[in-house]
Each structure stands twice: as C-alpha cells, then as structure tokens.
Structure 1
Amino acid sequence: MSGGDIAGLIAAGVFAVLVALLAIPLVKLGKVFDETTGAIRETSQGIAPILQETTTTIREANKQLARVDGITRNVAEVTGNASALVALFAATVGGPLIKLAGFSAAVRAALTVGRGTRPERKR
C-alpha cells in the first residue's frame, strides 16, 4: 500500500464518521417533523368540530338578533302610538281643564270681590 492509498482510507473513514455524526441529528429532526405532523393533524381534526359549532352558534345568534330587531321595531311603534295618544289626550282634555280652572278662579275672585273682601295672598 502506498501513502496515497492510506491517506484515501483515512479520508474515507473520517468521511464515514462525519456522515454517521450528521445522520444522528437528521434522524432526530425527522422524528420532530413526524411529531409536528401528528400534532397538526390532531389540531386540524379538533378544530373542524369547533368551527362547525361556532357556525351553528353564530347562525342561531343571528336568528335571535332578527327577533330582537322585530321586537325593537314593535316597541318603537307602540312608544310612538303612546306618545301620540298622550298628546291627543293633553290637547283634548288639557285645554278645557285650563279654561275651567281659569273660569273657576275668575268666579272665586268675583265672589270675594262681591263680599267686599279681598283675597289674601299667601307668602
């Protein structure tokens, strides 16, 4: 064997050791990738039902909001009707009551003036 052959054998041995040393982290990295793939698969399988439940919940919430919107519209209409009724009642009864109060005050003042006494003012 010549010196070049021995150097080639040493270089081949060093290369084999280097490949073996690099293979260990690569195998471990492959296991990490396998675990990551499994975790992603489990997560995606778990998320699908959650998304379906969320979709159902949102759909039901939208139905309830539509009902609340209808109720709100009806309450606004009833409130408007009540306001109109109060205004009508005030216009119908309020005006004559004010006139009646003014008339009764005038009659009372006339009766007290007729007696010759003046009504006393309260302080």
Structure 2
Amino acid sequence: MTLGGIAGLIAAVAFVALVGMVAVPLWKTGRVLDELRQTVHDIGEESVPILTELQDTVRVTNGEIGRIGQVTDEVAVLSKNAAALSENAAQVSGLLTHAVGTPVIKVASLAHGIKAGFTGGRRRPAELEQEA
C-alpha cells in the first residue's frame, strides 16, 4: 500500500464516520416528523366530534337566548301594567279620601260647632291652661 492509498482509506473511513454522525440526527428528525404527522391526524379525527358537539351547544344556547328575550318582553309588559294599576289605585284612593273624608270633616266640624253653641263657646281659664 502506498501513501496515497492509505490517505484515501483514512478519507473513506472519515467520510463514513461523518455520514454516520449526520445520519443519527436525521433519523431522530424523521421519528419526530412521524410523531408530528400522527398527532395532526389524531387532532383532526378528535376535533370533528368536538366541533359537532360545540355546534349543537351553540344552537341550543341560541334557542334559550331567544326564549329569554321573549320572557324579558313579557316582563316589560307586566311591569308597565303593574305601574298603570298602581297609578289607578292611587287615583281611586285619592277619590275615596276626597269623597268620604270631606263629608266626615264637615260633620265633625258641624258637631263641634253645635257643641260649642250649646256650651256657650266659653271656656274656663283652667280648661285653657290644661289644653295648652
């Protein structure tokens, strides 16, 4: 063997070692890519049922929101009617007070006037001091 042959053999062994060193990271990268492909495939298969369930949930929620809107409208009408009823009750109470209260006050005043007329409308000084 000549010096050139030995140098070629050393270069060939170095090249094989270099290829071996580069092959290990490439092989690991290939495994990582395979795992990534499998993960993407699994996510695709699992996301379809989740999205279908989410779509059903959104549909039910929209229906419930519509019902809440109807209930809110009905409560607004009920509140408006209750306010009108309260106002009407206040008016009736005022009318009743005026219709019943005024004659009662007049009768009481008349009775007091008649009593004062019979007693002469005079009070004794002791009675005045006791009332004050």
Residue equivalent to 1:114: 114
Say which is worse superposed, 12-21 or 99-108, in terms of deviation: 99-108
Report the identity percentage: 35
Root-mean-square deviation (Å): 1.8
Work out the CA distance in 2 between the residues paired with 1:19 and 1:102. Answer: 117
Work out the CA distance in 2 between the residues paired with 1:79 and 1:11. Answer: 96
The normalised TM-score by structure 2 is 0.77
The normalised TM-score by structure 1 is 0.82
| 1:3-38 C-alpha deviation (Å, 9 max, x unpaired) | 233212211210111101211221122111111211
Say which is worse superposed, 15-24 or 82-91, in terms of deviation: 82-91
Say which is worse superposed, 79-88 or 15-24, in terms of deviation: 79-88
Larger radius of gyration: 2
Residue equivalent to 1:41: 41
Is 1:70 the counterpart of 2:67? The answer is no
Say which is worse superposed, 102-111 or 59-68, in terms of deviation: 102-111
Residue equivalent to 1:94: 93
Q: State the Cα distance separating 1:47 from its structure 2 match.
A: 1.3
Partner amino acid, structure 1, of 2:96? L
Q: Once superposed, which parts of structure 1, at least 4 consecutive aligned residues long, lie more than 3 Å away?
A: none
- Structure 2: stretches of 5+ with no match in the other structure: 120-132
| 1:49-99 C-alpha deviation (Å, 9 max, x unpaired) | 1111011101110011101101110111122122112212322x1232221
Work out the CA distance in 2 between the residues paired with 1:106 and 1:3. Answer: 145
Residue equivalent to 1:79: 79
